Structure 1
C-alpha cells in the first residue's frame, strides 16, 4: 500500500507541472452527452431487450424505496424514470442503470423524518428542494474533477459502509413485515421491534415471508431473465394477500395517473437544507462510482467518473422537480443490464421509458400491493448489500482495518452515513501516514563511510572528510515524516558541510519545507554550510516561495552530489587562499 501511495504522489507531483495548458473547450467536452448518444446505434436490439428486463426488475424496487422514503411509491417510480433516462444520456458508464438505492433512500428518509411539518406530514417542497440542490452540488463537484478520488477509498471503509446500510434496511423493514408502520429511524426501529414481535399481525407476516421466500427460491428454479425474482416475489405476495382476502393489512396508497406534479426549488431555508444536500450528494457520488467499478470489472471497460457524477447531478435535479426520491447508479439493475446484453446508454433509457409508460397507464394498480410485500422485497435487498466476503475473515483482519471497519459500521447504523464515511477515511488516512512515516527512507553518513569514489579531480584531506555529512532523503517530504527526519537531523554534531540529497523527493509540503529550514538554521548555528542536490522543479518552486532557498543560496543548490563535492573543494580553496593572504599581511607588518 505504501508503494502505491508513493507512486500516486509521484505521479500527481509530476502531472501537476507537466500538464498542457488549460483548454476550456476540451474540458467541457468531457461532459458532452454526444459521447453516449453516438454509440447507441451499435447494440439496439440487445439494449432494448435488456432495458425492458431491467425495468421489470426496477419496478418493485422503485415502489418499495418510494414507500420507505416516506414520500410514497410514486416518488420511487419517478426517481427511477429520471435516473434511467437522464443518466443514460449524460452519465459516464455505458452499462450503468440508475434509480433509487438503499443507501440514498435511508439517508433521505432520515432527513424527511427530521423535517416533518407540524401536522406530521412530510415537507415535500423542502425535501424536493434538497434533492434538487444535491444534484446541483454533484454537477459542481463533477466540474471540479473529483471523480478520481473514489479509487483511493480503503476497502475497510467500503465494506463497513455497505454492511451498515444492509443492517439499517433490515432493521427498518422488520416492523412492516410484522404489520406495523416503518419507523422513522434505526434507533426507533430497535426500540419498536420487541413490541412488534410480541404483537405481530399474522397476515402481514405470511405475506412478507412468502414474498421473501419466493425471492430466495425463484433463481434456483429458473434462469429466465425476463421474470426476475423481485417481480415474482411481488406477484406471489400480492396474489396471496388477495386470494386469502387479508383485509387487516396495509396497502400502498393510490398513485396519481398522468404527468407528475412539479416542485420548483424553494431555497428560502437554504441553511437548513445545505447539510442534507451535501450528504445526499456525497452518498450519490460514492454509491454510483462503486457500482461503476463493479460494472468495469464485469465488462473490462473504463467508466468516466466525472461524467457519471455530472449525469447523476442532472438526474437528481430532475427528481427534485418531478417529485422523485434521490437517485444513484444501482448495483442490482446495472448487473442485470450487463447480464442481459446491455452495452450502451440506450438500455438505461429504455428502462426509464418502460417505467414511464407503466406510471402513466398502470399507476392505479399499485394500490393492490401490500406494504408487507414490499417489506419482504427490501429485506432481501438489505441482505444482499451486506459484504459477505469480509464476514468470515473479520477475526483475521489487520488491527487498523478492523478498527476502521467497525467504526464505519457502528457510526453508519447509529449516527449518520456521511459521518461514518468521514471517520472511516480519516482513520485510514492516519494509518497510511503513520506507516509512511515509519517506512521513510533516510540516512546520514560522512564522506569516509561512502563506498563510491569521489570525482577524479577532487583531493580532500581525511580530517575534512570527517566534517562533510550527507543526508539522503527519499520519498515525499510531508508532515507525516517530519518528526522522523527531525529526530535524525537533530543528532548531527561536529560537521562543517551538510549535503542534503533530494533527487528522490517528488514533493514537499509546508511542514517538510520548514523542517528543512530548521535543519539549515541548526547547521548555521554550528558555522556549517548546507547544500541541496537534485532538487526537482516542483520542490524547488515550493522552497523558493517559502524563502527556504534564500538561506541556502542559489550557488549551493546543485544538480548532483559530485557537484557539491566540487563546490566544497572550491570553498576550501578560497578559505585557504584567504588564510594565506592574512598570514602574509601579518608577516609584512612585522
Structure 2
C-alpha cells in the first residue's frame, strides 16, 4: 500500500513540475518561423533604445539595461507562459530598482553593484518560489481601479524623472528630488539638450501618424533623429552615454552575507515583476484571444532575473510596448522573443561602443513618450463620474505610487477594494432572516402550514459564502427576532464556510437553545457539512435535524407538534380520569 502511495506521489510531483518544462514553448516554435524571426528583429530595434534608456535611469549604466533585455528575451522566451510576451527592463521595475540603488550607495557615492545584483538574483529566486506556490491566478482578482491608479502613477513618475535630463541636467534619484529640481532646471535649461530631447520626442509622437510601416519603429527613428541633430550641429556641451564594454559581461556571483538588508527589496522587486508581467500578459490575451499560463510566466521571469543578477543586468518583466509590437508584427511563439534577445546579444558583443554617440537628452525624450503611453487614458475622462469607493481607491494608489512606494500603493488599493466588497456582501445578507409568519405567500412546492404553527418558526436563509465579512450582519439580524420555537437554517446556497461563519452558526444555535427552540439545518453542501463537522458545530444539534430540504424540516416540525399534541391529550385524559 505504501509503495502505491509513493508511486502516486512521484507521479503527481512529475505532473506538477511538468508545467514549468520549457518544452511547452519549444515544441511550437516551428509553426511560425519566418514571421517570428522578422518580428524578433523588429522588436530588437524597438528594445535597444529603451534598454539603453532604462539602464541609464537605473543608475547602473546603459549596458545593464541591454543585458537585462538579453536575459529577458532569451530565457522568458524559453520558460515563459505567454507565447507573445517579450521581456526586458520596464519603467515600473527600473523606477523601483533606481530607488533601491539610490538608498544603498557606497560612501564614495557609487552604486553598490554587488549588493544590487545579489538583490536582483534573490528577487528571481522569490519569483520561482511563488510560481511553484501557484499564486499566478490571483492577478485576475485585481480591481481595475488599482490597475489604473498604478499605471497612471508610474507614468507620472517617469515623466517627472525625465524632465531634468531633457533640460540638460542629471536624472534625479527620486520623485521628490525631481519636483524640487525642476523649477531650477527650467530657469537654467540648456537649449541644445532641449532641442535634442524635443526632436526625439516629437519624432516618436508623429511618426506613427505619418506611416503605418512597421519596419522602422518610432523609438529607433527618434533615436536616429536626436543623435543626428546632436552631431550635425556639434552639440558638445551636452552629456552622452558613457562607453560600454564590448564582449562578455562581468559576472556577479550572489553574496547573501547581507541577506537581512536585501530580502525586503528582493520581495518588492519580485512582487512588482509579477504584477507588471501578468498585467501585460492580460493585455496580450485580449489581443490574441488566448490565455497565458500565469505560473509559468512567473517562473520564466524568475529564471531571467536570476540571470540578470549574475551578468549585471537590471531587473526584467514582460514589457507592454514590446509585447504589443510583437503581436502587431506577426509574432506568435517564443521564438520571436528569443530572436530579439540574440540580436541584442550580437550588438553587445561587437557594436556596443557605438552607444557612446547617443545623447542622454535623446534617451530622455524616448522615456518621456514611454511615461505618457503608460498612463491609462481610458479612465481619465470618467474620473469625476467614478463610483465613490473606486475613486478613493484610484487616487490612493496614484498618490502612494508617486510619493511612497509602488508595492505599498498596490497593497493599500487592494485593501480598500477588499473592504468595500466585504461591506457590500455583508449588506446583502440583511434581508434573508424572516419569521414564517411574515411570509405572505409560500413558495411553489412548499408544504402548507397552519397559521398558529408559522408563528413558532423562524427561517434563516443564507446565500453566498458564509465568511467573516457577513457574520456580524447575520448575527445582529437573527438576534433581533425572538419568541420562536423552531429555527430552520437554510444553507442550500452556501458554497463555503470559514471558521468565523461556523462559529457564528454555533452562536445562533446556542441562542436558540437558550430560548428553548429546536434547530434544523437544510440543504448543506458536502464541503460545508464537512467543515461544520470538523469544528463540532453539530454537537448541539439533535440527530436527524440536518435535512435535505426545507419541506423536510416543515414535515419534521409538524411531526414533533403532532407528537407533543398527542402527549398533551393523553396527559389531559389521565388527569380527567384521576
So what's the TM-score if we normalise by structure 2?
A: 0.95
Tell me what 1:474 maps to: 463
> Is 2:433–2:478's contact at 8 Å kept on the other side of the alignment?
no
Tell me what 2:357 maps to: 368
Tell me what 1:559 maps to: 548
Aligned CA-pair RMSD = 2.0
Tell me: CA distance 1:466–1:351, structure 2 relative to 1, closer, same or farther (3 Å): same
Take 1:522 and 1:253, find their aligned partners in 2: how far apart are those partners? 77
Q: What is the CA-CA distance between 1:578 and the residue it aligns to?
A: 4.9
Tell me what 1:251 maps to: 240
Q: What is the CA-CA distance between 1:366 and the residue it aligns to?
A: 1.0
Take 2:208 and 2:122, find their aligned partners in 1: how far apart are those partners? 40
Tell me what 2:4 maps to: none
The gaps in structure 1 that reach 5 residues or longer are 1-19
Tell me what 2:3 maps to: none
Q: Comparing 29-38 with 568-577, which one deviates more in the overlay? A: 568-577
Tell me what 1:68 maps to: 57
The SS at the match of 1:181 is: coil
> Is 1:454–1:562's contact at 8 Å kept on the other side of the alignment?
no
Q: Comparing 564-573 with 154-163, which one deviates more in the overlay? A: 564-573
Take 1:454 and 1:384, find their aligned partners in 2: how far apart are those partners? 57
Take 1:454 and 1:576, find their aligned partners in 2: how far apart are those partners? 28
Q: What is the CA-CA distance between 1:294 and the residue it aligns to?
A: 1.0
Q: What is the CA-CA distance between 1:584 and the residue it aligns to?
A: 7.2
Tell me what 1:415 maps to: 404
**1:42 paired residue among 31, 35, 38:** 31
Tell me what 2:170 maps to: 181
Take 1:168 and 1:448, find their aligned partners in 2: how far apart are those partners? 59
Q: What is the CA-CA distance between 1:573 and the residue it aligns to?
A: 4.1
**1:550-572 alpha-carbon deviations (Å, 9 max, x no partner):** 11234211111122122223333
**2:523 paired residue among 523, 531, 534:** 534
> Is 1:178–1:197's contact at 8 Å kept on the other side of the alignment?
yes
Tell me: CA distance 1:459–1:480, structure 2 relative to 1, closer, same or farther (3 Å): closer
Tell me what 1:443 maps to: 433
Whether 1:319 aligns to 2:318 is no
Q: What is the CA-CA distance between 1:579 and the residue it aligns to?
A: 4.6
Whether 1:172 aligns to 2:169 is no
Q: How does 1:218-229 map to 2 (within 5 A)?
A: 218-229=207-218
Q: What is the CA-CA distance between 1:465 and the residue it aligns to?
A: 3.1
Tell me what 1:94 maps to: 83
Q: How does 1:4-19 map to 2 (within 5 A)?
A: none
Tell me what 2:146 maps to: 157
The SS at the match of 1:494 is: coil
Tell me what 2:265 maps to: 276
Tell me what 2:68 maps to: 79
**1:239 paired residue among 204, 222, 228:** 228
**2:417 paired residue among 415, 420, 428:** 428
Take 2:214 and 2:63, find their aligned partners in 1: how far apart are those partners? 25
The SS at the match of 2:432 is: strand
**1:5-31 alpha-carbon deviations (Å, 9 max, x no partner):** xxxxxxxxxxxxxxx999222221111
Take 2:347 and 2:575, find their aligned partners in 1: how far apart are those partners? 107
Take 2:575 and 2:108, find their aligned partners in 1: how far apart are those partners? 102
> Is 2:196–2:361's contact at 8 Å kept on the other side of the alignment?
yes
Q: What is the CA-CA distance between 1:463 and the residue it aligns to?
A: 2.6
Q: What is the CA-CA distance between 1:93 and the residue it aligns to?
A: 0.6
Take 1:78 and 1:129, find their aligned partners in 2: how far apart are those partners? 15
Tell me what 2:341 maps to: 352
Tell me: CA distance 1:25–1:554, structure 2 relative to 1, closer, same or farther (3 Å): farther
Q: What is the CA-CA distance between 1:527 and the residue it aligns to?
A: 0.5
**1:333 paired residue among 311, 314, 322:** 322
Tell me: CA distance 1:467–1:257, structure 2 relative to 1, closer, same or farther (3 Å): same
Take 1:294 and 1:491, find their aligned partners in 2: how far apart are those partners? 50
Corresponding pairs, count: 569
